[in-house]
Amino acid sequence: RPSPRCGPPSLHNMRTTNSHAAIAFIALASAALVCVTSIYGRSNAENVGAALTVRPQFTSCGTTPSTRSQIYARKPSRRFREIKEKVEQKPYKTMEAIQLLKQLASAKFAETMEVHADLNIDPRKATQNLRTTVVLPNGTGKSVKVAVLCKDEDAKEYKAAGADIAGFQDLIDDINKGNLDFERLITTPDMMPQIARLGRVLGPKGLMPSIKSGTVTTDVPTTLKEIKAGRLELRADKKGVVHMPFGKATFDDEALLQNLRAIQDTIDANKPTDIKKQYWKSVYLTSTMGPGIQLDLSALNAKEYV
């Protein structure tokens, strides 16, 4: 600060002061950058973990993870590592994969068998948005609780046909309160105005009835019978992958193969007409607690399962 006797600072002194401040700021920033690089640039994961004490923002390579789960990812259990070692890195024929998957299903409960099929489609296009239903010949091995939104006078008939819940205003009130004590909801076309008001509750839960999924129907008894027998909605996600259960590990091999063939036939029957290239990209089988097993596409397309 200049002395009052010295008068106002000259332009030269102001420029010199600003230059010194800029140089000091650049030096401070460079020192901070060196510190950050020395901490986050280490390849030793333990040192990085010690440096990232709370809510880490960088991985060991200095990149920002998309989710915290990438940092706090759990190490696979010994059981899973031992199971995975038994799976060879090769495509398997369908029956061979089913038999191996059943051998590896060693959990204390009946594991669900799943198929994950990556299709060469673009679901953003209306003509390639795969969505239909499939009836598994041997069921899913799981009991499904079904509700029917209908007129009160029809509720008794539908309960006799297999519905777990049936009704009109009482069911609407329960849904509005968030009491969704069912896994599938069926309704008739004349109930659609009431269903539309429940979309904010049913939509996020995947319970909204629709014509494409076969849950808006005039033949409620037949639909109930099919759903109880193992009818599922088959649809591709936004990346064109179909995820479907096809039974339990307690099923015999032939029953699982029949269910899987039903899914394959349904996907083939609903192939978009504008797909000229290869339809199936890859198919994997897995179980609830098991590894993924890749299927041989050439054998699958030729329907050579054994």
Average pLDDT, consecutive stretches of 10 residues, N- to C-terminus, the chain (306 residues): 51 54 67 53 41 42 50 72 88 96 91 96 91 91 92 92 93 92 93 89 90 90 91 92 95 96 95 90 94 94 91
Contact 296, 283 (CB under 8 A): no
Cα–Cα distance measured from residue 46 to residue 212, given in angstroms and rounded to the nearest whole number: 53
pLDDT of residue 63: 46
Cα–Cα distance measured from residue 212 to residue 129, given in angstroms and rounded to the nearest whole number: 11
pLDDT of residue 107: 87
What is the pairing mode between strands 231-235 and 131-135?
antiparallel
pLDDT of residue 182: 93
Contact 93, 304 (CB under 8 A): yes
Q: Which residues contact 66 (CB under 8 A, 6 or more apart)?
A: none
pLDDT of residue 149: 94
pLDDT of residue 82: 84
Contact 60, 73 (CB under 8 A): no
Residue 209 half-sphere exposure toward CB, CA atoms < 13 A:
28
pLDDT of residue 54: 41
Cα–Cα distance measured from residue 268 to residue 273, given in angstroms and rounded to the nearest whole number: 11
The whole model's pTM is what? Answer: 0.68
Cα–Cα distance measured from residue 62 to residue 67, given in angstroms and rounded to the nearest whole number: 15
Backbone angles phi, psi at 113, to 5 degrees: -90, 135
pLDDT of residue 13: 52
pLDDT of residue 32: 59
Burial of 271 (0-12, 13-18, 19+ CB in 10 A): middle
pLDDT of residue 106: 85
Q: Letter for the amino acid at 268?
A: D
- CA–CA distance from 160 to each of 148, 189, 224 (Å)? 12, 21, 11
Cα–Cα distance measured from residue 14 to residue 11, given in angstroms and rounded to the nearest whole number: 5
Rg of the chain over all Cα atoms, to the nearest angstrom: 30
